[in-house]
Structure 1
Amino acid sequence: MEKLAGKVMLLWGGRKALLTLGAGAVGALALAPFDIFATMFVAFTLLVWIMDGTASEPDAGWFSRIWPAFLTGWLFGFGYFAAGLWWLGNALLEDGAEFAWAIPLASLGLPFVLAVFYGLATVVARLLWSNGPGRITALALGFGLAEWLRSFVLTGFPWNAIGYAAMPVPLLMQPAHILGIAGMNILAVFVFSVPALLGTRRGAVPGLLLAALLIVADLGYGFWMLGKAPDADAKEVSVRIVQPMSGLESDISDAERAALFEDLIKLGGMPPKSGDRPPQLIVWPETSIPFILSQNQSAFTRIDEMLGDGQVLVAGAVRAEDSAPGTPHRYYNSVYAFGSDGEIIGAADKVHLVPFGEYLPFEDFLKNIGLETIAANASGGYSAATRHTVLTLPGIGSVYPLICYEAIFPTEIDEEGETAADVLLNVTNDTWFGYTPGPYQHFQAARITAVEVGKPMIRAADSGISAIIDPQGRIISGAGLQTKGVVDATLRFGSVATWSKSARNINFWLLCVISLIAASFSRFSFVSDYN
């Protein structure tokens, strides 16, 4: 490998740029639905060697000295995000061709911006770079900090964080409830980068041994967690998820809306299979009710007729809120809970809205140039709730609603006090993404969120992937992508004892400090040939 490493280090110009782009793109194959996580070893090994050959003039100014490193990380990130997020353009065509002009912005513009974070990652790494194994630690630190920033800067978009690639199956997911996805990002980059040491030999033995120890610890902890007996005293609830394949059409007739609603009623009211318990909890996906409930009182009657004694329905819907005379209504992306008499017993509104999808950043300016939200309504977009609301369902327990991509923000889930809940409830409509990697990536992130917070999850998606997931990320029952029907299963509401959110944050920063110390020690212990 030394010969190959030497060739990579000596590349320059266009060939070097293409290899860096290609390395990032190859790494994206480790994401769902492909889950070829071995490609990340190739991607980060090449990135380390490319960084080894990335030099700057020692007498140049500060910006000129860091620019080559930034460009390397940016090219790697652009390849990774373009290959992993190309499907975003599909969302602009699902509801007609009105937004087709914006496909390049979604498929290439967003990767262009997200790649900046990886450029910052390689700048941090470069400042601590050395000949020794510490450069691997420096790269892990840089990417860990970059992914942490990506989780909240500009409202956050942690989709396809590197750590997800290291957790394709429940066996490998379990440390997430100790370290969170933030901590897993650091360890994943370290392990993925270690083979690069074989190409330069220096520090290869301790680096490989540490990586092997981390892998064995991950596997061992996973076996232990998955082998634990479930809580025998935990409440068992029979659940039905309705996956209606109702689509996204907004400009449809009242008769078509009525037909969609009746389809939901039919699926929700289907008798259980012979020998199965009737569902206590029925779940419809995000915005599945195709009209404003306050404008269709007959809907309550139909829900009452569908529900039996003791049954509860939780359904996604658009909620309209009255406003001052002469001003438009405020609209919320919400879920309603209905008791067995068809009356509303609870509601929760979405807190974390999708930029450009559900609201316009810099709204006044962008509307003046003709832009609007993709999921537009009568007022143009949605309003955000100020906090998450837990739904307490009679005879069932408490559920924590996560609407759409709120499920990929585990650090925003309140796990203690009044907002603690028995189960996570994720309702979504991934029809926007069609038959692409998007729904698979969304589903994988939601599963890992369930593991991180140690709660079971009920996930209802209009066109898939719907599933009932236990606290260890195992699928109890589910429905695949682009299928219509129901998912019936019994869910045990017991949680897994996890580290608290604050403890996971402390563990993340502890890993950052350890990485910084190791990288600094290596830098001062080895004379760098590249500075």
Structure 2
Amino acid sequence: MERVAGRIMLLDGWRRALLAILAGAMGALALPPFGVFGILFLSFPLFVWLMDGVGGDPRRLGSRGLRSAFFLGWLFGFGYFVAGLWWLGAALLLEADEFAWALPLAVLGLPAVLALFYGFAAALARFFWSDGVGRIAALAAAFGLAEWLRSFVATGFPWNAMGYTAMPVPVMMQSVRIVGLFGMSALAVFVYSAPALLATRRGLRLGLSLASLLVFAHFGYGVYRLNLDDVAGSDRREMTVRLVQPAIDQSVKLQNSDRVAVFEKHLRLTALPPKDGGKRPDLVIWPETTIPFILTENPDALQRIAQTLQEGQVLITGTVRSEEQAAGEPPRYYNSIYAIDHHGQIIAATDKVHLTPFGEYVPFERLLGKLGIENLIALPGGFTAGARRNLLSLPGGIGLYPLICYEIIFPNEMTPELSGASAIINVTNDAWFGNTPGPYQHFLQARLRAVETGRPVIRDANNGISAIIDGKGRVVSGMRLNAEGAEDISLKLQILNKSDYSHDGYNFLMVTCLLLSLAVISRLGFV
């Protein structure tokens, strides 16, 4: 092992750069739908040994060593994000004649930007670098901080944060309830990097002991929490929810030529009788922006919904909302959710707050517009972000916390309004990305929001994956990718104002401080 590590440390030039990219790319195999969890126990030791070969004094901020470490981290991140996000280009190919030119920007440009965060992590870790266990503690803390920064800098894009790779199944998801996604990212990197100590020996016993303890605690807490009884009582109401998954091809939605047929398909799936004589659904869910016209400008459509729903039923649907402006100005458009009762009345509504860059709006529009960069969704001026997120309050004391499409990938979108929520509802349209890893990765992130908050997630997607996920990340029932139909699922929802949810970011800070303390102690030669 020492000989292998030594040869990797001494690599230079293109061989060194290529291995860093390959190490990152290999790590992406741990993401859905592949889930090759063990690959990161090879990927990160390779990266640690490459970092060991960086010369210069790490304590000098302007030193060549820090610049080399940054570039090494960038190469690792570039490989990871290209391998993990290549499917973003599928959305551009839906209108290839207009957007194919931007394919390199999506497949290579975005990964190049995201890799800057891993470059920062490597440079920060290099500042605390030593030849013992402290260096993997420094790397772990730095990666946790980088993932945290990636969640909000430049509107944020924490997709495929490293912590997700350590949480592929429910028993391995429960720890996120304690330390959060970014704490999990830091601790995962520490465990993944621990095998690197087999080659350098110093701190081997301490490092492997700590890593083993973390793995034991991770699985042990998972088993413990999964075996806890779910809280039941008079403050919970049993409901039947129908998930409608129309599986309409995105090219058909873009053509917008048969809007009536699209609308009628949703109504037909809504009106299907329950299977095997089951209870009729109390709540019907349609996906994101599924109604192919402005609903409030089409009273006939509201009437058709009223005719389809039975008494007491409520429909929740994604739609586009328009808002008129001053004379001569185009209307504003919002990506919204409506709750509609059996009278055809809109009883609750909210707008998407966190818009998707280049999909729903163009950042720096004046500058980038001159370069021909436009929204994928053709609306005058794109979408407007909602001013605030409104809880959807339904009859019977049920409150749903709405997250539209990729809003659910942001742990920091869990605002105080969640304290009154019975469940999280997530409507989305992953048909943009076809049969690629994208929908599977999106679904995993939705499951982790359920575990973090202890709230069920009701997720409805145009082409899947639609499902109800319990507060421990387990899939109650649902429909696979590209399936068409309706699924009725029974669940118990907590009535409003009976919440135990609290968001505590101090545990991530504590994890980071402990790891950095270990790095400093090792740097000083005490371990």
> Does TM, scored on the shorter chain, surpass 0.5?
yes
Q: Any unmatched runs of 5+ in structure 1?
A: none
Q: Deviations over 1:485-506 (max 9, x none)?
A: 11211122249987721x2x10
State which of 302, 320, 332 in structure 1 corresponds to 2:304.
302
Whether 1:134 and 2:130 are equivalent positions in the alignment is no
Whether 1:316 and 2:315 are equivalent positions in the alignment is no
Change (3 A) 1:59 1:367: closer
- Tell me, in whole angstroms, the C-alpha distance in 1 between the residues paired with 2:456 and 2:59: 57
Change (3 A) 1:6 1:251: closer
What's the counterpart of residue 13 of structure 1?
A: 13
Moved more, 271-280 or 127-136: 271-280
Letter in 2 for 1:265: L
What's the counterpart of residue 220 of structure 2?
A: 220
Whether 1:232 and 2:224 are equivalent positions in the alignment is no
What's the counterpart of residue 386 of structure 1?
A: 387
Q: How does 1:79-478 map onto structure 2 within 5 Å?
A: 79-233=79-233, 234-248=236-250, 249=252, 252=255, 256-377=258-379, 379-395=380-396, 397-415=398-416, 420-478=420-478
Q: Deviations over 1:251-301 (max 9, x none)?
A: 5456x1000000000001110012321110000000011111123211111
- Tell me, in whole angstroms, the C-alpha distance in 2 between the residues paired with 1:253 and 1:59: 59
Moved more, 396-405 or 344-353: 396-405
Change (3 A) 1:257 1:416: closer
Letter in 2 for 1:357: G
Q: Deviations over 1:340-398 (max 9, x none)?
A: 11111111100000111100111122223332111121x13000012111001113600
Change (3 A) 1:278 1:58: closer
- Tell me, in whole angstroms, the C-alpha distance in 1 between the residues paired with 2:109 and 2:404: 25
Letter in 2 for 1:368: K
CA drift at 1:465? 0.6
What's the counterpart of residue 65 of structure 1?
A: 65
Change (3 A) 1:61 1:28: closer
Please say if residues 175 and 222 of structure 2, whose CA atoms lie closer than 8 Å, have aligned partners that are also in contact.
yes
- Tell me, in whole angstroms, the C-alpha distance in 2 between the residues paired with 1:202 and 1:161: 29
CA drift at 1:5? 1.2
Using structure 1 for the length normalisation, give the TM-score: 0.95
Letter in 2 for 1:339: D
Whether 1:52 and 2:52 are equivalent positions in the alignment is yes
Identity over aligned residues, as a percent?
A: 54
- Tell me, in whole angstroms, the C-alpha distance in 1 between the residues paired with 2:522 and 2:172: 29
What's the counterpart of residue 525 of structure 1?
A: 525
> Alignment partner of 2:276: what SS?
coil
> Alignment partner of 1:186: what SS?
helix
Please say if residues 310 and 395 of structure 1, whose CA atoms lie closer than 8 Å, have aligned partners that are also in contact.
no
CA drift at 1:112? 0.5
Letter in 2 for 1:460: D
Change (3 A) 1:350 1:129: same
- Tell me, in whole angstroms, the C-alpha distance in 2 between the residues paired with 1:177 and 1:352: 23
Q: Any unmatched runs of 5+ in structure 2?
A: none
> Alignment partner of 2:399: what SS?
strand
- Tell me, in whole angstroms, the C-alpha distance in 1 between the residues paired with 2:151 and 2:59: 36
Please say if residues 77 and 114 of structure 1, whose CA atoms lie closer than 8 Å, have aligned partners that are also in contact.
yes
- Tell me, in whole angstroms, the C-alpha distance in 1 between the residues paired with 2:394 and 2:364: 38
Letter in 2 for 1:422: S
Using structure 2 for the length normalisation, give the TM-score: 0.96
- Tell me, in whole angstroms, the C-alpha distance in 2 between the residues paired with 1:8 and 1:196: 12
- Tell me, in whole angstroms, the C-alpha distance in 2 between the residues paired with 1:478 and 1:178: 27
Please say if residues 54 and 65 of structure 2, whose CA atoms lie closer than 8 Å, have aligned partners that are also in contact.
no
- Tell me, in whole angstroms, the C-alpha distance in 2 between the residues paired with 1:465 and 1:352: 21
Please say if residues 391 and 417 of structure 2, whose CA atoms lie closer than 8 Å, have aligned partners that are also in contact.
no
Please say if residues 131 and 526 of structure 1, whose CA atoms lie closer than 8 Å, have aligned partners that are also in contact.
no
What's the counterpart of residue 78 of structure 2?
A: 78
- Tell me, in whole angstroms, the C-alpha distance in 2 between the residues paired with 1:107 and 1:118: 18
Letter in 1 for 2:402: P
CA drift at 1:416? 5.0
Please say if residues 132 and 203 of structure 1, whose CA atoms lie closer than 8 Å, have aligned partners that are also in contact.
yes
> Alignment partner of 2:524: what SS?
helix
Q: Deviations over 1:41-78 (max 9, x none)?
A: 11111111111111137999815331110011000000
CA drift at 1:511? 1.0
Change (3 A) 1:127 1:499: farther
- Tell me, in whole angstroms, the C-alpha distance in 2 between the residues paired with 1:213 and 1:453: 25
Please say if residues 242 and 489 of structure 2, whose CA atoms lie closer than 8 Å, have aligned partners that are also in contact.
yes
CA drift at 1:226? 0.7
- Tell me, in whole angstroms, the C-alpha distance in 2 between the residues paired with 1:64 and 1:206: 31
> Alignment partner of 1:86: what SS?
helix
CA drift at 1:410? 1.8
CA drift at 1:116? 0.5
